[in-house]
Amino acid sequence: MSRALITSQVDRSATLEPAGEIGPDSLAVECSARQLADLEMLATGAYAPVMTFMGQDDWRSCVESMRLADGTLWPIPITLQLSASAVPASTSEIRLMSHGRHIATLAVSERFTPDLHREAEMVYATSSREHPGVAALYEAGDLVVSGRLSFHALPRSFAGPEYLTPFETRLAVEQRGWRTVVGFQTRNPVHRAHEYLHKVALELFDGLLLHPLVGETKSDDISAEVRMRVYKALLDNYYPQERVLLAVYPAAMRYAGPREALLHALSRKNYGCTHFIVGRDHAGVGDFYGTYAAQELFDKIDPDELGIDIIRFEHSFYCTRCEHVASKRTCPHDSSQHLALSGTKVRSLLVEGETLPAEFSRPEVAAILAEEYR
């Protein structure tokens, strides 16, 4: 199915409002990095049609059926979790702060105690605290509050020309005259297998949105600043400038595997993507999900309801006989000739002080990463 790009969507980002007077039942909360990332996604319209933190009906429906209470497809709860002991019953509004700066106000209309174990089992497919997303869920608080959200300042997780809201991204795409746009999600430096996927996609579509996640990730993930240097080095030297748009995706990483892959696809519609790449173990961590579990989830969803076409790629590798990156679809040689390429392998080599071979990374990328790990 081919989808034409729709660029006439309205700007769904929040209108900034004056903060107003502090009421007697106001509570100031210093937001965590994950809460700030969610606020940023809500403020810019990246999570549309979700425009505020979910109440109990949406939370329950989302957990149980990957849908909002009104039936809209949505796979992961976007909630404001707090400690019940820190939120008096009389609290009528919560001032959401970042380093003392008043970002937004939540007019409290609902509060409830979520079943976090059930949420973990349904959303993350595990209740193990060894899973970083589950651990973050359990630690975030035993109370959920919801209500009308008013923004007084735009939280920005990244400073630079690559910061584009969904509306600004769609305008940039329209200015380039692209009718089809394929989005690529990454939280790792781009290695040769990624480049292979990008180049194949560019043979088929007008433009590539290289859309790295710059919100909170695991402590052992490479920093967003370093990753951005890597992306720029690659784009400057190996990609057609007029065919690729580099912009940041300010969400926090939940590592929720298949459900997060679905969230990534749905939110990329707001950025103007007509297609979205889903590879092996998309948004996975450790051994919690099957290699192609994310792709298998999309098999169960009506493409017309999804509204964005999924591009599926199998595991790719460097073949020493073919002397280039390939997959089982294109390479006739056995596994003894294959070098597995992955972000995990790249990090492992860097930690051990090894030089990244050319089969793994471009020399410009290897130099940047080696400098960071030194």
What is the per-residue pLDDT across 37-70, written as a single tens digit (0 to 9) for each? 999 999 999 999 999 999 999 999 999 999 999 9
Mean pLDDT of 91-120: 97
Domain tally, the chain: 2
Label residue 6 by pLDDT band (50, 70, 90): low
* 214 or 218: which leads in pLDDT: 214
Query: Is the same domain home to 330 and 224?
Result: yes
Q: What is the pLDDT of residue 77?
A: 98
Residues 6 or more apart in contact with residue 315 via CB below 8 angstroms: 279, 280, 291, 327, 328, 340
Query: Is the same domain home to 233 and 334?
Result: yes
Mean pLDDT of 167-172: 97
Which range marks the domain in which residue 279 is found? 166-373
Mean pLDDT of 16-20: 87
Query: Does residue 159 lie within any of the structural domains?
Result: no
Percent of the chain with pLDDT over 70: 97
Mean pLDDT of 220-234: 89
Mean pLDDT of 184-193: 86
Query: Is the same domain home to 181 and 292?
Result: yes
Asked if the model's pLDDT at residue 208 lies above 60, the reply is yes
Query: Is the same domain home to 348 and 208?
Result: yes
- Measured N-to-C along each axis, helices 363-373 and 224-238 cross at an angle, to the nearest 10 degrees, of 160
Average the pLDDT over each of 47-56, 67-76, 83-92, 362-371 and give the range with the smallest value: 362-371
Query: Is the same domain home to 139 and 223?
Result: no
Q: What is the 3-state secondary structure (H, E, C) of the chain?
A: CCCCCCCCCCCCCCCECCCCCCCCCEEEEECCHHHHHHHHHHHHCCCCCCCCCCCHHHHHHHHHHCECCCCCECCCCCCEEECHHHCCCCCCEEEEEECCEEEEEEEEEEEECCCHHHHHHHHHCCCCCCCHHHHHHHHCCCEEEEEEEEECCCCCCCCCCCCCCHHHHHHHHHHHCCCCEEEEEECCCCCHHHHHHHHHHHCCCCEEEEEEECCCCCCCCCCHHHHHHHHHHHHHHHCCHHHEEECCECCCCCCCCHHHHHHHHHHHHHCCCCEEEECCCCCCCCCCCCCCHHHHHHCCCCHHHHCCEEEECCCEEEECCCCEEEECCCCCCCHHHEEECCHHHHHHHHHCCCCCCCCCCCHHHHHHHHHHHC
Label residue 9 by pLDDT band (50, 70, 90): low
What is the per-residue pLDDT across 341-365, written as a single tens digit (0 to 9) for each? 676 777 777 788 888 888 888 999 8
Query: Is the same domain home to 44 and 189?
Result: no
Query: Is the same domain home to 117 and 140?
Result: yes
Q: CA 130, CA 288: separation in Å to the nearest integer?
A: 10
Query: Is the same domain home to 118 and 218?
Result: no
Q: CA 220, CA 138: separation in Å to the nearest integer?
A: 20
Q: What would the two tokens of residue 353 be?
A: 């002080």
Mean pLDDT of 195-215: 95
Percent of the chain with pLDDT over 90: 73
What is the per-residue pLDDT across 114-163, written as a single tens digit (0 to 9) for each? 999 999 999 999 999 999 999 999 999 999 999 999 999 988 888 889 99
Query: Does residue 47 lie within any of the structural domains?
Result: yes
Query: Is the same domain home to 220 and 317?
Result: yes
Q: CA 15, CA 154: separation in Å to the nearest integer?
A: 9
Q: CA 86, CA 22: separation in Å to the nearest integer?
A: 18
Ramachandran category for residue 141: left, alpha or beta (phi over 0 → left; psi -120 to 50 → alpha): left
**CATH code of the domain covering residue 283:** 3.40.50.620
Active site residues: 187-188
Query: Is the same domain home to 200 and 315?
Result: yes
Label residue 71 by pLDDT band (50, 70, 90): very high
Query: Is the same domain home to 172 and 126?
Result: no
Q: What would the two tokens of residue 285 be?
A: 């961590």
Asked if the model's pLDDT at residue 278 lies above 70, the reply is yes
Q: What is the pLDDT of residue 223?
A: 86
Query: Is the same domain home to 205 and 271?
Result: yes
Query: Does residue 216 lie within any of the structural domains?
Result: yes
How buried is residue 307: exposed, middle or buried, by Cβ count under 10 Å (0-12/13-18/19+)?
Answer: middle
Instruction: Please provide the average confidence, as pLDDT, over all residues in the chain.
Output: 92
